[in-house]
Amino acid sequence: MKSSEKHPFAFFDKYLEEDIYKDWRKFKKGLIDEQDIYKIDEENHIICTKDYDGINKYSFETEIKPKLIYQRRKTQQFIELNSQKLEERYNSDFYLRKIEQLEAQRAYKEFNFLEPIFSKIKETIKFFGKEENFEAKQESCFSFQVTGSTEEEKLNKLDKLYEMLVQDPPFIATSKDNFRKAFNSQNVDEGIKWLVKAKNKHTNKQSLFYLLESLISEGHIKDISSTHFNRSIYHVFRTTNGNRLKNIKQSKSNKTSVPERSTDIDIIISRL
């Protein structure tokens, strides 16, 4: 069974339950069929064979370790992805309890080389469970990326865009340095306040979507997946009160074709 973002431990669930025993039996059979067996150490999972040169040792751990490391890394990647989910807090306790369940299985006690595999996974779980790591990781992973052939060209484009967005009536409130970071794949010091209001006096997310999607479609910032786009908005932009924007995915599904100040945005884009 393959692990996934939804079930990061799926492989290890099945592997410890039955597949590791299948691999051990297959490993033994392969040597028994082909070589003269001297000794089988069932406790340490080592098979000794003999030939004219003497005794040879074959370790099941050495045989199976590449597979376990590969699956361990996949599990770690899925744990990291889950820790970045939009508007959700990462629950390290849940994953640590899952590790405890795996460690309680018979196979974990019988195959002692599993211990360092799960130790590495626990390190990942605990790392992303720390508050400071959560915040730093979230902000740095999900900013936008301006396009340009040189760093100077990128910064000039960002500075020009910034000056147009802060002209009265302003679209945004933030420092130039923070704006540069938000669109140059860097950790933002503080969120950018989006000042355009909807008729209900709430933050107009539709106008923000229109600006960002126009920048992408015209090639001024790099295209990203829909999920990454939503997360980047969540981590970069704020309401006029400084709060994170909510219900981004739902708001995107109800987009209007001509949002507030779309004409102004079109003019800005044409001048870049």
- Could you read off the pLDDT of 177-233 as tens digits, one per residue? 999 999 988 878 789 999 999 888 889 999 999 999 999 999 999 887 777 788 889
Burial of 257 (0-12, 13-18, 19+ CB in 10 A): exposed
Residue 88 has pLDDT above 60, yes or no: no
Residue 204: its pLDDT value, please?
93
Q: How far apart are CA 100 and CA 202, in angstroms?
A: 46
Residues in the chain: 272
Q: How much is the pLDDT for 138?
A: 47
Number of H helices, E strands in the chain: 13, 6
pLDDT in tens, 136-179: 444 445 688 999 999 999 999 999 999 999 999 999 999 999 99
Please tell me the least confidently modeled range out of 24-33, 88-97, 106-115.
88-97
Residue 17 to residue 235: CA distance in whole angstroms: 40
The letter for the amino acid at 251 is S
Q: Provide the strand spans (E) within 76-214.
A: 172-173, 192-194
Over the Cα atoms of the chain, what is R_g? 27
Peptide bond into 169 cis (omega under 30): yes
Q: Which two tokens stand for residue 1?
A: 């069974």
Retrieve residue 261's tokens. Answer: 């100040």
The pLDDT tens digits of the residues spanning 46-81 come to: 999 998 888 999 999 999 999 999 999 999 988 888
pTM of the model: 0.52
Q: Output phi, psi for 33, to 5 deg.
A: -70, -25
- Burial class (CB within 10 angstroms; exposed 0-12, middle 13-18, buried 19+) of 195: middle
Q: Which residue has the tokens 């099945």?
A: 14
pLDDT, mean of residues 69-95: 78
- Other CB atoms within a 10 A radius of the CB of residue 171 amount to 21
